[in-house]
Chains A and B, each alone.
Chain A
């Protein structure tokens, strides 16, 4: 097992946001975490990345405890995130943003290879590489956020709401690219509110509600599950 989250608890001050959740991710999978606003999806990703202190449980990456490592060590282990709201460095150029994604990798040949690959996945980024990231459109910023996370050569790529605020045609482009990234051997954990596109892409899915995992199944069964359809897919189609 690549990533195993056991009985994870996270608190904001005195308020518990995650009440002991369990998630496992196998090598090569796309796993999606669905849920409404405030369900704890982003909190889960940030706990994996070491941005949130955990108050209980364990996060194991190939058996070693991530929750005991600082955030920069976790990136070195091979877990990178494209965060919610993209959070590109607006006053830096596209190229500088991508270089920062490779901060932990000191091999120029590897970086060149990854950069070429990212420019193949997102040709737009190459066209705009000298431009300030803050001047990109929302879709381009999302591409940059994903590209930047890939520059760290992740074994697991965490994507937080990549479809947020994007036109449907762009969502399709991005999700097609995520599929391609996954085919190249990167395991993907995808947090989404857009349940339909996420379940079509993913192998397995978890449904979160107010800090708990309430459902866990293959993506196909979740898609046809009447409860999921009612709550997250706008009723039966």
Chain B
């Protein structure tokens, strides 16, 4: 029972991280029908910027552990969000009217650029987050031990997802984002500045990805310039699993993928954990090609 519980909570924590990254893929895809292949590397940037700010500002010492990390997270999210906007302006905006394949090639190029940039600045070796930033407390819930860190990761990602969901569903700007995702021309006829919507999407998605990078740094302690590739691929899978373009889909897909991976590794085979995750993806796509939550309603012409 305890073993299962450990795997379950670990899966939920990793799933929350996947979900946060997946949101970036799905939001950009929703509005531009573009897979932002550089998104995984923005996640890496979040992890590295987090490390730099953590060691240079030492906010956790000045403000205390929790407020320090929260301020740090806000700074990382803001910075990575701005990098996201710059990425769009430099790599995608000039290609808005071009065939979609050009933007995909540009995305791959941007990914290589970011990876090498991180490598040049920080080096190719693993970098380590300082230990004991957050207390390594273990809490007991109903007789079962669980590290506090894991709960915090899950709560933070759920909090961000709920906040994003409410923003997209309830606010005026959120509705404008959904409208632009459905029909950009019609959205412009409503007086929506679609360019601004795209900028916002390229801020929010990378900001969430950056937060996920920081969380991975704090949780696992070590980061590497290629980490964005694996996490990006997993999160992309999660987005497809839930139905790409669908925001609740990315959340469900991320959590589900985290659980499958963690339970699969524990009960079937550790070496096969990625294969298991992808087998489940293939099985779900055979049954539901649009993903779990894809295409809520058929459009009527």
Q: Give chain A's interface residues, CB within 8 Å of chain B.
A: 49-51, 70-72, 75-76, 80-81, 83, 85, 87-92, 96, 99-101, 103-104, 132, 134-136, 138, 141, 148-149, 152
Contacts and interface: CB of A to CB of B under 8 A. Distances in A.
Contacts of A135: 297, 300
Given A104-B190, A134-B299, 7 more contacts: A51-B189, A72-B193, A89-B183, A92-B182, A103-B190, A134-B300, A152-B191
B183 A87 contact: yes
Given A70-B193, A75-B190, A103 B298 contact: no
B296 interface: yes
Interface stretch (B58-66, B101-109, B120-128, B172-180): B172-180
Interface in B183-226: 183, 185-193
B191 A76 contact: yes
A141 B191 contact: no
B288 to A, nearest CB: 17
Interface residues of B, number: 22
B50 to A, nearest CB: 36
B190 A148 contact: yes
Given A132-B297, A134-B297, A91 B182 contact: yes
Interface of B: 172, 175-176, 178-179, 182-183, 185-193, 296-301
A92 B191 contact: no
A1 B188 CA distance: 26
B229 to A, nearest CB: 33
Contact of A99 (B175, B183, B193): B175
A89 B179 contact: yes
A89 B182 contact: yes
Q: Looking at chain A's contact residues, is the secondary structure mostly helix, strand, loop, or mixed?
A: mixed
29 contacts: A51-B189, A70-B193, A71-B191, A72-B188, A72-B191, A72-B193, A75-B190, A80-B191, A81-B189, A83-B186, A87-B185, A89-B179, A90-B182, A90-B297, A91-B297, A91-B299, A92-B179, A92-B182, A99-B175, A100-B176, A100-B187, A101-B190, A103-B172, A103-B191, A104-B191, A132-B297, A141-B300, A149-B189, A152-B191
A10 to B, nearest CB: 15
Contacts, number: 80
Q: 7 closest pairs, A vs B, by CB? A: A75-B191, A104-B191, A71-B188, A87-B186, A90-B299, A72-B193, A72-B191
Contacts of B172: 99, 103
B244 to A, nearest CB: 15
B179 to A, nearest CB: 5
B188 A100 contact: no
A104 B176 CA distance: 11
Nearest to A100: B190
Contacts of B296: 91
Given A103-B172, A132-B297, A136-B300, A89 B189 contact: no
Contacts of A132: 297
Nearest to B183: A87
Contacts of A83: 185-186, 189
Nearest to B296: A91
A138 B193 CA distance: 28
A132 B300 CA distance: 11
Which has the most chain A C-beta neighbours within 10 Å: B176, B186, B190?
B190
Given A89-B183, A90-B297, A103 B192 contact: yes
A50 B188 contact: yes
Given A89-B182, A90-B182, A103-B176, A134 B298 contact: yes
Nearest to B189: A81
Nearest to B186: A87
A49 B189 contact: yes
A51 B176 contact: no
A80 B297 CA distance: 27
A17 to B, nearest CB: 17
A100 B179 contact: yes
B209 to A, nearest CB: 25
Given A72-B193, A103-B172, A134-B298, A92 B178 contact: yes
B175 A92 contact: yes
A51 B185 contact: yes
A51 B190 CA distance: 12
Contacts of B299: 90-91, 134
A148 to B, nearest CB: 7
Given A91-B296, A91-B299, A75 B189 contact: yes
Given A96-B175, A135-B300, A89 B191 contact: no
